[in-house]
């Protein structure tokens, strides 16, 4: 072996040895379970009796399963409701908190705080605020003249919007940080030039800020879509999937099939379907990237 080749090998070996611990843990705790789940999706297994191969039986059962259909629709409702909302609010917040003013750091921290707060605490406090009979929100609504305020998380029509509100409130801070970082990359000269030409702040926002932030918007959209398809913990604590099946989301149905009905094969099949849906949407988003994302 030549001197340079063995040197390359040695530096490769060093590089791999840095990656190896993380790779091993990732392989053991993530890759292997995913492969196992993929294999399980073609089986029937309750965790104790032997596995039975059923081929595509789980998938055909899903097509006729009302529970699965309802949870898929609920999840789509949730995604469509939260992704644009969180995106718009986090962008607006980032723009507002990009200007210099007294207390700016405090507000940045305050808006980020919900993301790191305990999820159970957030759910309990939201439930208390939206308490149907005596909560502050309904008291205010009654005071301004609304005679029959909604029962929020105990009502079929309003349970999902309540969960969505909690989710948006919680996530806005995180995506605001992404936008704030991206905003630092927008050159000031563009704004000054625009102001000299007589542009209003609104026009500056629409014609300069938003187009130059499209890379960040693309990232935020992808992250938000994936995260909102996976919503589970907030639903579990706030409404438990109810009332009835109004907030049954896909991951809740998977959890239910696996741990409450002990049908690990069926649950794995449902998880595979969720994976394929999210993968398809992400691929579509990447295809669309060239059309609307402008890199400086």
The binding site for other proteins (CB under 8 A) comprises 46-49, 66, 127-128, 130-134, 151-157, 242-246, 259-262
- Token pair of 217 as six digits: 């918007």
The residues, ordered by sequence, that sit 6+ positions from 193 with a Cβ below 8 Å of its Cβ are none
State the nearest-atom distance from the C-beta of 133 to other proteins, in Å: 5
Q: Is the CB of 94 or the CB of 159 nearer to other proteins?
A: 159
On the question of a cis peptide bond just before residue 138, with omega within 30 degrees of 0, the verdict is no
**What is the DSSP code (8-state) at residue 154?**
G
State the nearest-atom distance from the C-beta of 245 to other proteins, in Å: 6
State the nearest-atom distance from the C-beta of 150 to other proteins, in Å: 10
> Which string of b and e fits 253-285 if b means at least 16 CB within 10 Å?
bbbbbbeeeebbbbbbbbbbbbeebbeeeeeee
Q: Is the CB of 187 or the CB of 240 nearer to other proteins?
A: 240
Q: Is the CB of 11 or the CB of 157 nearer to other proteins?
A: 157
Rounded Cα distance, 271 and 14, in Å: 37
Secondary structure class of 99 (helix, strand, coil): coil
Q: Is the CB of 65 or the CB of 211 nearer to other proteins?
A: 65
Q: Which of 145, 127, 129 is nearest to 137 (CA)?
A: 129
Q: Is the CB of 132 or the CB of 211 nearer to other proteins?
A: 132
State the nearest-atom distance from the C-beta of 249 to other proteins, in Å: 15
State the nearest-atom distance from the C-beta of 121 to other proteins, in Å: 14
State the nearest-atom distance from the C-beta of 170 to other proteins, in Å: 18
Q: Which of 52, 258, 295 is nearest to 182 (CA)?
A: 295
Secondary structure class of 21 (helix, strand, coil): helix
- The string of DSSP letters for 166-187 reads HHHHHHHHHHHHHHHHHHTTS-
């Amino acid at each position: 072996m030549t001197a340079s080749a063995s040197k390359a090998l040695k530096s490769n070996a060093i590089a791999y040895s840095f990656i190896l611990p993380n790779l091993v843990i990732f392989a053991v705790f993530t890759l292997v379970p995913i492969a196992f789940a993929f294999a399980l999706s073609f089986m029937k297994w309750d965790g104790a009796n032997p596995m039975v191969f059923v081929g595509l039986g789980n998938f055909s059962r899903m097509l006729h399963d009302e529970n699965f259909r309802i949870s898929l629709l609920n999840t789509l409702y949730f995604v469509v409701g939260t992704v644009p909302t969180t995106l718009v609010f986090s962008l607006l917040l980032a723009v507002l908190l990009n200007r210099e003013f007294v207390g700016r750091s405090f507000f940045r921290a305050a808006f980020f705080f919900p993301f790191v707060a305990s999820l159970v605490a957030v759910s309990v406090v939201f439930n208390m605020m939206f308490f149907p009979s005596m909560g502050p929100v309904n008291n205010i609504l009654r005071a301004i003249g609304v005679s029959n305020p909604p029962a929020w998380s105990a009502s079929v029509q309003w349970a999902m919007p309540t969960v969505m509100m909690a989710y948006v409130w919680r996530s806005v801070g995180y995506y605001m940080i992404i936008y704030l970082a991206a905003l630092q990359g927008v050159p000031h000269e563009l704004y000054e030039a625009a102001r000299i030409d007589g542009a209003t702040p609104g026009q500056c926002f629409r014609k300069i800020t938003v187009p130059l932030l499209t890379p960040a918007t693309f990232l935020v959209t992808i992250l938000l879509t994936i995260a909102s398809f996976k919503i589970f913990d907030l639903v579990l604590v706030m409404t438990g999937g109810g009332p009835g099946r109004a907030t049954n989301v896909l991951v809740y149905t998977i959890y239910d099939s696996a741990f409450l009905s002990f049908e690990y094969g069926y649950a794995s099949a449902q998880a595979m379907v969720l994976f394929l849906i999210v993968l398809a949407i992400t691929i579509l988003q990447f295809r669309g990237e060239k059309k609307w994302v402008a890199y400086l």
